[in-house]
Chains A and B, each alone.
Chain A
Amino acid sequence: MTEIQSSAGVPVIAAPPQEPHLPPKEWLKKNLFSNVGNTLITIMTSVVILSLANGLLGFAFGSERQWNAVAVNSRLYMSFAYPEAQYNRIWFSFATLLVLAGLSMAIWRGGTRMPFARLAKSAYSFGVGLAIMVWLAPLSTSGTVKWEIAAGGLLLAGFIFNRIAAQDEERSLSSLTLLVGTLASIIATLWFIPYGRHSFIGDRIPQVVSEPGTVAFSTKLPWTIMLFVLVGAYYLGIVLRDRLPERRTRSVLMGFWLISPIFLIYLVLRDPAFTMNHVLYTDIPLVLGFLVVGSLILYALTKPSLGEIGRIIAMLILLAGFGSFLTPMRMIIRIFLIALGLFSLAAPTFSGDKSTRRRYSSIWSGFIVIAGWLITAVNTPSTVEVPGDLFFGGATLTLIVAFFTVILSYPLGVLLALARTSNMPIFRLLATTFIEFVRGVPLITILIFFSVMLPLFLPEGMRLPEVTSVTIGYALFSAAYVAENIRGGLQSVTRGQHEAAEAVGMSTSQKTVFIILPQALRMSIPPMVGHTIGTLKETSLLYIIGLFDLLYVGRSVIPNQTAFIGSTRENLLFVSVLYWVISYSMSKASQRIEKRVGLGER
């Protein structure tokens, strides 16, 4: 690649030369029929693909397939046994996430411009593909005609796009418009196309009722509202983007992304039954007290000229925190004391002028408020009544376990990676032993260990729900892999950076937090995205433990319903497609973001 000096004097890397656009005939000749061997390969692969597609479509759309099993049970797949009367909670949570998504898309300026020529090309290829698939699939005559009409519509769209592109080559469409348009048309079909109303009646013996007509009102209305929420949030984001300081808005939004799932799970979906007396007279005063006193202490401790006395005070607070286990006391106080001790121990690293010190104190305030209501919410019994221990299952369980695993394993992985690369032999020994041990055994043995054995290791009277102990095990497992990814990033930070940080007089912790880690984390984003997708996929192992995740619902719950006995294959196919869509779109999106941010190009 050649380097061209841009006007600002910054070297830009020229894009590789585009392949010349060949007319169809020459393209075919070059790519498919360049010589005898190539022609043979083309014919053979076409035959193989067509027969494979024929087999697959025959399998998927054969007359003996009970796709009703999936359609009727879609509720089971998404939220398992969550009570229907409380469904507003689910819709509220979903809407919250959509608002965040819409805001983020606006504030990070998501989406790309897609030229109409490219749109035309993809519409053509989708149309031709769909036409061939419909021709191969064993559909009824009316079904074939309907789908072929749809394929014709795609081809027509391609033609129109091509005309637009021919008029003006620069015309393009935002990919967000395309996304919203697609979603809107899918939701519009809910209102107009008679998919049929499927519902379950009866508790003991589930009986399926399928009526002709469009889907139930309780399905299509919320989905339509969700679409409007998404679009509204996007425009709100555009308005906010121009009014607010960009950096702060972005970090606040990131914070919301981290906090809102926990908030939704514990406050919205779990519906804790707060006793107002306890909350008003114990929890709130406690949190307020720690907030005020802690902020003052931390503000004082971050004073740069403080010296030894800061450390001593921090150690005293920490000692008080650990010592509080000797006397009967509320658990929440002990946790807050230890947290305050750790915060004040880290205080010298964050010392600086007044605004820096105020920010550190406000971080503490935010932490204490979130930790306070989280602890209160977790300790309050849930009012959601479902059969079994968990109020969530299906895709919700899969996503929640994946979320918590990722959230817990990243900080732990960073600590392990730092310990493994530190120059202190005992830290290194402990970290290396842990990482290598965990990486040497399969995930399933660790999950079984934590679901079967962890209750035995806990002190008497302490009980963890199975899903919690399994998530802890999964997070520990995942942390070992995260640590290895981050170690790669840490090793790619050059020596000069260490030396420069030392030269300006930073302490080891300041050097690590402000210089080394930001660069190392940036370098390790691509492998970490891959690891996150892997984590989501491997939550399917919860099936073996016997938790009601997506796979369990598809493999064991639905095929055991009297109406749908023997519908395993349909359900498995549906589960695979669901997983495929999630992980494929995640990996594609991350690739695009990496390319845009220019990761891994330094």
Chain B
Amino acid sequence: MTAPVEQPPSTRLAVAQRVPLWRDVVVLKWFTQVSLLAVVLAALWLFVGQAGNNLRAKDITIGFDFIDRPVDIQLSEGIDTLPNSGGRALWVGMVNTLRVASVGIVFSTILGIFVALSRLSNNWMLRKVGAMWVESLRNVPLLVQIIFYSSILATLPRTSFLDPTAAAGPLNQNQGPIHNWLHISNKGVSLPRVFIADGFYQWAIVILLGAIAAHFVRKKRLKQHDDTGRETSPILWAAGTLAIFGFVGLFIHPVFSFVGPIMGGIASLIDSLTIPMTQAVISIVAVLLALRWIRKFRTDRRSGSGHLNLSDDDWFRMIFAGLASALVIVVIYKWTGLSSWLLNSGQDLFRLAETKFNVDGAARPFDAMRPDVLKPGNFANYGKNGLTMTRGFAAVFFGVTFYHSAHIGEIVRGGILSVPKGQVEAASAVGLNRAQSLRRVILPQAFRISLPPLGNQYLSLTKNTSLAIAVGYSDIVQVGQTIYNQTGKALPVMSVWMLFYLACSLTISVVVNFFNMRLKLVER
């Protein structure tokens, strides 16, 4: 081996000088990046400018004023079937989307786990049924399925097993399959509805206290389990505590009417704040957060010996964090309305809470109503009293639930199969029976493996509810389409859609990532 030859400084200088500007890697990299960015921005600018011209030529204005304007929309269902403004209509659509998505997520998970277990069962028949379920549902487009279910449900008996001669208004007691408790027809299914009544918020405080108590009970039982090694069923005990609190709370909840004045006090406190104070507080918080992030980032990047080695990219991120906080400050000072809006809405929130807690002592936390049937015009339909699952809802719900249960079943099956065989054998070696080893050994590990793809399924389920537009279920896409057909404001409506779905996606991925982090194997 030869010793490395020390180059004279003049040679090094020559090497450094010999790279001309157009061959310097750093210069080239940044040149291409900046020029691509310029091209993208220029293209966007051109397109948007062209769109502006075209819109002006067609005399269409862009703006979100449709949110406050009254619209002429009748929704098939939702918290408000005759919304008085565009914004309200979109809100009803969002609630409908979330409703069918959340119910779909829950049921498709349950069904998917059943499908997975049946495909892994010892019974040949059950295995084949599981396989048939998966293969038949996975290979037919969801949209075709949804439309098909809707057209099947349309063959149910007409709503007129109500007496056709009956006047508008609630039915008499003797109609419907179970007298006035359950209605099934081609308009959907209507059940008695349990709803939150005036006393609920006071009762919720009891439940909150119960949850705290349950937490401590669970901790205690867990400790007992660790100390003695006996099965102490902490979850069961915690649930029992919560149930006892809930039951007792039904009778003693008026005790908590004193919370109302406290909320009122907070509202008055917010009222006394001024706008400059709010602005200052928010700016300081933004700057502090950015500084904290940068400090943490630098600590993370430090090597074991304390050496800090920052790449271009790291600098970029740190500058980006600083810019973000600056942006917050600029926004908060540029739009004073934002601060006053924050103050006002905070105040409103607590004023609302004040009225919610200041209720009569006799108010019940829950109440229930039986379904009713109205006869507006020629067509009988369900009224607002019952809990109604309309045909559109049912079609979308069955569609997404069945379709995604097939996918989720395959994911869970893959997860279970990927648990090493040694784990099962070890479980039976320490004396766990089949059910115990499934619950304590196999499923937790399978769940860890299948969580990220499950999250993707939940995301796509939420997005797939947008196919409701084909069966007339008033989800956000259908409502939005009606609005832009009436007002011509396609762009604003579409931006509302995209923001809404992005928010849903972000929420789901945050939740899934949270659990993923909790469940991840801690590696060295």
Least CB distance from A594 to B in Å reads 16
Decide if B141 touches A440 in the complex (CB within 8 Å).
no
A319 located at the interface, meaning its Cβ lies under 8 Å from any Cβ of chain B in the complex: no
Complex: how many Å from CA A260 to CA B18?
51
Decide if B501 touches A440 in the complex (CB within 8 Å).
yes
Known: A445-B494, A540-B144. A45 touches B501 (CB 8 A): no
Complex: how many Å from CA A425 to CA B37?
11
> Chain B 443-473 against A: per-residue CB contact (8 Å), 1 yes, 0 no?
0000000000000000000011011011000
Contacts of B51 in A (CB 8 A): 453, 456-457
Decide if A579 touches B140 in the complex (CB within 8 Å).
yes
Complex: how many Å from CA A41 to CA B114?
14
Decide if B126 touches A41 in the complex (CB within 8 Å).
yes
Contacts of B47 in A (CB 8 A): 457
Complex: how many Å from CA A537 to CA B481?
24
Interface residues of B in 117-140 (CB under 8 A from A): 121-126, 129, 135-136, 139-140
Complex: how many Å from CA A200 to CA B497?
44
Interface residues of A in 398-456 (CB under 8 A from B): 423-427, 430, 437, 439-445, 448-449, 452-453, 455-456
Decide if B505 touches A544 in the complex (CB within 8 Å).
no
Q: Specify the chain B residue showing the minimal Cβ separation from A311.
A: B22
Interface stretch (choices B87-95, B145-153, B358-366): B145-153
Decide if B139 touches A580 in the complex (CB within 8 Å).
yes
Least CB distance from B12 to A in Å reads 22
Interface residues of A in 21-60 (CB under 8 A from B): 31-32, 34, 38, 41-42, 45-46, 48-49
Decide if B54 touches A456 in the complex (CB within 8 Å).
yes
Q: Specify the chain B residue showing the minimal Cβ separation from A533.
A: B139
Complex: how many Å from CA A579 to CA B135?
12
Complex: how many Å from CA A443 to CA B481?
15
> Chain B 45-58 against A: per-residue CB contact (8 Å), 1 yes, 0 no?
00110110111000
Decide if B470 touches A579 in the complex (CB within 8 Å).
no
Q: Specify the chain B residue showing the minimal Cβ separation from A426.
A: B33
Contacts of A308 in B (CB 8 A): 22-23
Decide if A453 touches B494 in the complex (CB within 8 Å).
yes
Complex: how many Å from CA A556 to CA B319?
56
Complex: how many Å from CA A455 to CA B54?
9
Decide if A543 touches B490 in the complex (CB within 8 Å).
no
A459 located at the interface, meaning its Cβ lies under 8 Å from any Cβ of chain B in the complex: yes
Q: Which of B140, B491, B506 contacts A453 (CB 8 A)?
A: B491
B369 located at the interface, meaning its Cβ lies under 8 Å from any Cβ of chain A in the complex: no
Known: A49-B129, A537-B141. A449 touches B494 (CB 8 A): yes
Interface stretch (choices A12-20, A112-120, A365-373, A569-577): A569-577
Contacts of A568 in B (CB 8 A): 151
Known: A425-B33, A584-B135. A31 touches B122 (CB 8 A): yes
Least CB distance from B217 to A in Å reads 36
A100 located at the interface, meaning its Cβ lies under 8 Å from any Cβ of chain B in the complex: no
Complex: how many Å from CA A575 to CA B147?
11
Q: Which of A426, A442, A452, A579 contacts B37 (CB 8 A)?
A: A426
A541 located at the interface, meaning its Cβ lies under 8 Å from any Cβ of chain B in the complex: yes
Decide if B129 touches A45 in the complex (CB within 8 Å).
yes
A75 located at the interface, meaning its Cβ lies under 8 Å from any Cβ of chain B in the complex: no
Complex: how many Å from CA A533 to CA B407?
14
Most buried by A among B141, B463, B491: B141
Decide if B143 touches A441 in the complex (CB within 8 Å).
no
Contacts of A443 in B (CB 8 A): 463
Complex: how many Å from CA A453 to CA B481?
13
Interface size class of A (residues with CB under 8 A): 35 or more
Complex: how many Å from CA A26 to CA B280?
81
Complex: how many Å from CA A327 to CA B36?
24
Q: Specify the chain A residue showing the minimal Cβ separation from B34.
A: A426
Contacts of B481 in A (CB 8 A): 448
Decide if B125 touches A544 in the complex (CB within 8 Å).
no
Known: A453-B490, A459-B50. A440 touches B506 (CB 8 A): yes
B227 located at the interface, meaning its Cβ lies under 8 Å from any Cβ of chain A in the complex: no
Known: A544-B470, A569-B151. A580 touches B140 (CB 8 A): yes
Contacts of B151 in A (CB 8 A): 568-569, 572
Contacts of A440 in B (CB 8 A): 498, 501-502, 505-506
Decide if A445 touches B466 in the complex (CB within 8 Å).
yes
Least CB distance from A67 to B in Å reads 16
B40 located at the interface, meaning its Cβ lies under 8 Å from any Cβ of chain A in the complex: yes
> Chain B 140-178 against A: per-residue CB contact (8 Å), 1 yes, 0 no?
111111011001100000000000000000000000000
Contacts of A456 in B (CB 8 A): 50-51, 54-55
Decide if A587 touches B139 in the complex (CB within 8 Å).
yes
Contacts of A427 in B (CB 8 A): 33, 36
A169 located at the interface, meaning its Cβ lies under 8 Å from any Cβ of chain B in the complex: no
B312 located at the interface, meaning its Cβ lies under 8 Å from any Cβ of chain A in the complex: yes
Complex: how many Å from CA A42 to CA B124?
8
B313 located at the interface, meaning its Cβ lies under 8 Å from any Cβ of chain A in the complex: yes
Complex: how many Å from CA A541 to CA B470?
9
B379 located at the interface, meaning its Cβ lies under 8 Å from any Cβ of chain A in the complex: no
Q: Specify the chain A residue showing the minimal Cβ separation from B148.
A: A572
Decide if A551 touches B469 in the complex (CB within 8 Å).
no
Q: Which of B37, B148, B470, B494 contacts A430 (CB 8 A)?
A: B37
Complex: how many Å from CA A424 to CA B28?
11
A498 located at the interface, meaning its Cβ lies under 8 Å from any Cβ of chain B in the complex: no
Contacts of B142 in A (CB 8 A): 537
Decide if A555 touches B147 in the complex (CB within 8 Å).
yes
A538 located at the interface, meaning its Cβ lies under 8 Å from any Cβ of chain B in the complex: yes
Complex: how many Å from CA A426 to CA B484?
35
Decide if B502 touches A437 in the complex (CB within 8 Å).
yes
A583 located at the interface, meaning its Cβ lies under 8 Å from any Cβ of chain B in the complex: yes
Decide if A576 touches B140 in the complex (CB within 8 Å).
yes
Q: Which of B32, B139, B467 contacts A444 (CB 8 A)?
A: B467
Complex: how many Å from CA A460 to CA B58?
12
A458 located at the interface, meaning its Cβ lies under 8 Å from any Cβ of chain B in the complex: yes
Complex: how many Å from CA A424 to CA B126?
53
Least CB distance from A14 to B in Å reads 17
Decide if B494 touches A583 in the complex (CB within 8 Å).
no
Least CB distance from A509 to B in Å reads 12
Interface residues of A in 554-590 (CB under 8 A from B): 555, 568-569, 572-573, 575-576, 579-580, 583-584, 587
Contacts of A551 in B (CB 8 A): 141, 143-144, 147
B230 located at the interface, meaning its Cβ lies under 8 Å from any Cβ of chain A in the complex: no
Decide if B129 touches A442 in the complex (CB within 8 Å).
no
Interface residues of A in 45-85 (CB under 8 A from B): 45-46, 48-49
Contacts of A442 in B (CB 8 A): 463-464, 466, 477, 501
Q: Specify the chain B residue showing the minimal Cβ separation from A568.
A: B151
Contacts of A41 in B (CB 8 A): 121, 123, 125-126
Contacts of B144 in A (CB 8 A): 540, 551, 572, 575-576, 579
Q: Specify the chain B residue showing the minimal Cβ separation from A573.
A: B148
B335 located at the interface, meaning its Cβ lies under 8 Å from any Cβ of chain A in the complex: no
Decide if B145 touches A576 in the complex (CB within 8 Å).
yes
Q: Specify the chain B residue showing the minimal Cβ separation from A541.
A: B143
Decide if A38 touches B122 in the complex (CB within 8 Å).
yes
Decide if A31 touches B124 in the complex (CB within 8 Å).
yes
Q: Specify the chain B residue showing the minimal Cβ separation from A37.
A: B123
Decide if B125 touches A458 in the complex (CB within 8 Å).
no
Complex: how many Å from CA A34 to CA B50?
73
Complex: how many Å from CA A342 to CA B249?
75
Contacts of B464 in A (CB 8 A): 442
Q: Could you list 16 examples of A-B contacts with CB < 8 Å?
A: A32-B124, A425-B312, A425-B316, A426-B36, A426-B37, A430-B36, A437-B498, A440-B498, A441-B498, A441-B502, A445-B501, A459-B50, A543-B143, A569-B152, A572-B144, A579-B144
Q: A45-B129, A441-B505, A457-B51 are in contact. List 5 more A-B contacts (CB 8 A).
A: A425-B33, A441-B502, A540-B141, A541-B143, A568-B151
Report, nearest first, the 9 A-B pairs whose CB atoms are least far apart.
Answer: A31-B124, A442-B463, A426-B33, A440-B505, A442-B466, A583-B139, A540-B141, A537-B141, A440-B502
| Residues of chain A whose beta carbon lies under 8 Å from any beta carbon of chain B | 31-32, 34, 38, 41-42, 45-46, 48-49, 308, 423-427, 430, 437, 439-445, 448-449, 452-453, 455-460, 533, 537-538, 540-541, 543-544, 551, 555, 568-569, 572-573, 575-576, 579-580, 583-584, 587
